Homo-oligomer: A and B are copies of this chain.
């Protein structure tokens, strides 16, 4: 199922609501700039897929949850690109927020997007207060300290890294939020959906390592070799390209096995299965096809 239109519409509504006059024009434009055009909107798509598999009986709540999660993701990209972190000049093929606007405006953009994420969830609280609160709890846990993406970035300032905690918070956290929030938005318990999110997060981490090692700068839209540069752990360095692809497939099988009983279980399994192909870098697939033409 393609949730793009639903996600983009909901994102636009949220950003526009944050720009009521009088407000500082540059910051207002920086907010819009930093969330659009979207990338693959992977996390909100997973969230809405899980909500759909659980019956999606309150689509406005699911939309708000999807937007809240994507806003946090966008905020993290804006702050991660800052000179004191990745010092990235480009992202998704255009100038990063601090390059296009300024460093102060990039800091404020990230801060405003974090706040907006929680604000969007309060807006639907009237429909079901307990779901809204449960969604905010998960979002806060997977964003801040000690288990969220802030903690994940924080590990990179440590001389001795707890690798499991690092990966779970750095890449896993927002995928766990995606599956849990999708279930909660549709009135289900979030806890049993943690494993699916964690495994999808692991698969994306390996896929990211593969892309980082194989893609060229033009295709990726950001400077390649960033991970190596900063000395972060990397599945390709550890296992080689073949090993990393095998690991990714194993992880996705585990992900499918972990899907809780729900009306849309089969469809969701199919969707996760398709990720293995989507996540294997095109360049690698092309190079393999040309090397072994008989197969």
Contacts and interface: CB of A to CB of B under 8 A. Distances in A.
A108 B27 contact: no
A104 B140 contact: no
A143 interface: yes
A22 interface: yes
A184 interface: no
A24 interface: yes
Q: Please indicate which of the listed interface residues A18, A23, A148, A158 has the most CB atoms of chain B within 10 Å of its own CB.
A: A23
B150 A28 contact: no
A47 to B, nearest CB: 18
A82 B103 CA distance: 10
Contacts of A28: 145-146, 154
A146 B111 contact: no
Contacts of A141: 119
A65 B122 CA distance: 16
Nearest to A149: B111
A132 B18 CA distance: 21
Q: How would you classify the secondary structure of chain A's contact residues: helix, strand, loop or mixed?
A: helix
A143 to B, nearest CB: 5
B146 A19 contact: yes
Contacts of A82: 107
Nearest to A134: B122
Nearest to A138: B122
A215 interface: no
Nearest to A148: B115
A219 to B, nearest CB: 28
A105 interface: yes
27 contacts: A18-B145, A19-B146, A21-B146, A22-B162, A23-B145, A23-B147, A23-B151, A23-B154, A24-B146, A26-B158, A28-B145, A28-B146, A75-B111, A84-B103, A84-B104, A85-B104, A85-B107, A108-B150, A111-B144, A112-B148, A112-B154, A114-B114, A114-B115, A115-B150, A118-B136, A118-B140, A133-B133
